[in-house]
Amino acid sequence: MRIVSSKQPDGTFYYEVFNGDVLIDSGSGYPTQQAANRASNVVYHALHAANFAWNQPATVHDYVEISIDELAKELEGML
């Protein structure tokens, strides 16, 4: 298991989580390295809970900051 987290040229941060040599999860656009690390830790704990038997396809996440008003509008559209 390996986690990579670093700064991107645009100033945001990304993470990648590998199970052996297989990329299982990644995310980009996080405003701080701490935020990227927190997101990667969720996958890290899930991988441990699955006893490293990961049969899910790789997932890619993009950090998007959204206001509470924008969130309410999005949720309202789903009803």
Task: Kindly list the domain boundaries of the chain, sorted by start residue.
Answer: 2-78
Residue-wise pLDDT tens digits, 8-39: 999 999 999 998 888 999 999 999 999 999 99
Cα angle, residue 67 at apex, residues 42 and 15 outer, rounded to 5°? 30
| Residue 64 pLDDT > 80 | no
Question: pLDDT grade, residue 58 (50/70/90)?
Answer: confident
| 19 beta partners | 22
Cβ neighbours around 14 below 10 Å, total = 21
Backbone angles phi, psi at 68, to 5 degrees: -65, -35
pLDDT at 61: 79
pTM for the full predicted model: 0.73
